[in-house]
Every structure is written in structure tokens, then in C-alpha cells.
Amino acid sequence: MLALHAGAHLEVHVIRPLALLSLLGLAVPVGADEMTALKPPLTKEQERDRFHPHREGMPPEPRLAGYERRLQMEKDSLLKGLRFRAVGPEVQGGRIVDIEAPAAHPDAYVVAFATGGLWRTDNRGGSWTPLFDRESCITIGDVALGDPDGQTIYVGSGENNSSRTSYAGTGLFKTTDGGRTWR
């Protein structure tokens, strides 16, 4: 509590400095956050570029060399005879990027996952077969069927489907035997 000798004493020592500080607060320039609010909204292209800046991608040669090294390590492994099965839970959910249905087989579907490869079912999802696990890249951006039977399949590897991270691919792949072999 203030002990005052006169009313003028309060005005000089307390009120005037407070008034001066409040005026200084009004004269402070607008901060960066407040300036952002005054800018027009970003276009769709600007928003996309914010999350996917233009950068030089990794050349495919080192990725393919790493894939070849992985295959050699699997051949040389002391554990090559053991079979492992993932039971989950996984760190990231499976994002489906495309579903195709062969016209000649109404119970069949080919499903492409952003970071989980290509899978096929011939019994409406009762069981699934991986078609792309042995390739140099299991990230997929798109898949297309080239015939009514679903034997010719085109896979665009790499994934850039509106996620905050993107995954590089190693090219366009084609199979004419339902996914047993790829080129």
C-alpha cells in the first residue's frame, strides 16, 4: 500500500510513468505474426510448394546400388532360411493411393499403398498377395492395369500425394504376368 503525502505526488511518481509506458506500447510496430494476417491467402500452388519445396532429387543410381547390396546381403545372410512375419502395430498407417479392378475378374482388386507396396486379392479381400515387395522401391504413387485380366500392370514408384513428407521412387515398372516379374 502507498503512503502518500499529497495527491500530486502519486500523479508524478506512478500515474505519469504508467501513462507513458502505455503510449509506448501503442507505438510498437506490428509484429511478424500480425503482418502475416494482413497478407492475402496462399494459392493452392504456393501451399503445395510450402510442403514440397523444389529440390534436386537423389539420383537413382545410389538407390539402385543400395538395393543390389540388400539383395546380396539377403543371399549371404546366416538367417536366410528363417521366415519372419510382421504382426504390427505399425508406426504409420497404410495410405491407399490407388485401387484398380480387372474388368474380367469381378472378385479381384489391385491395391497400391503409398509406402506399402502393391497387393492383389482374387477373392474380394479374403486373402492378399504382395506383388511388389522384391522391387527396388515399395513407395507407389499410381498404378494402372493394361488389360482386362489384370496381368499387365504399370506401377509409378515414388509417392507425393499431399503428405508432409514425400518418398522418392526408382522409375516406372511393368509386369505382363500379374506381378511375378517386373521390368
Q: What is the mean pLDDT of the chain?
A: 80
In this structure, is residue 67 part of a structural domain?
no
Which pLDDT does position 169 carry in this prediction?
85
As a whole number, mean pLDDT of residues 39-43 equals 86
Decide if 51 is inside a domain: no
> In sequence order, which residues have a C-beta less than 8 Å from that of residue 111 and are 6 or more positions away?
96, 98, 99, 100, 118, 119, 120, 121
Residue 70 lies in a domain: no
**Would residue 152 count as lying in a domain?**
yes
Structural domain harbouring 153? 94-183
What is the count of structural domains for the chain?
Answer: 1
pLDDT the model gives residue 17: 66
Over residues 133-149, the pLDDT tens digits come to 989 888 899 999 999 99
Mean pLDDT of 31-44: 70
pLDDT, average across residues 156-176: 82
Kindly state whether residue 113 falls inside one of the protein's structural domains: yes
C-alpha 86 chain-centroid distance:
22
Tell me: the pLDDT tens digits for 84-140?
A: 776 655 555 578 899 999 999 989 999 999 888 999 999 989 999 999 998 988 889
Higher pLDDT, 73 or 36: 73
- 1 domain residue, yes or no: no
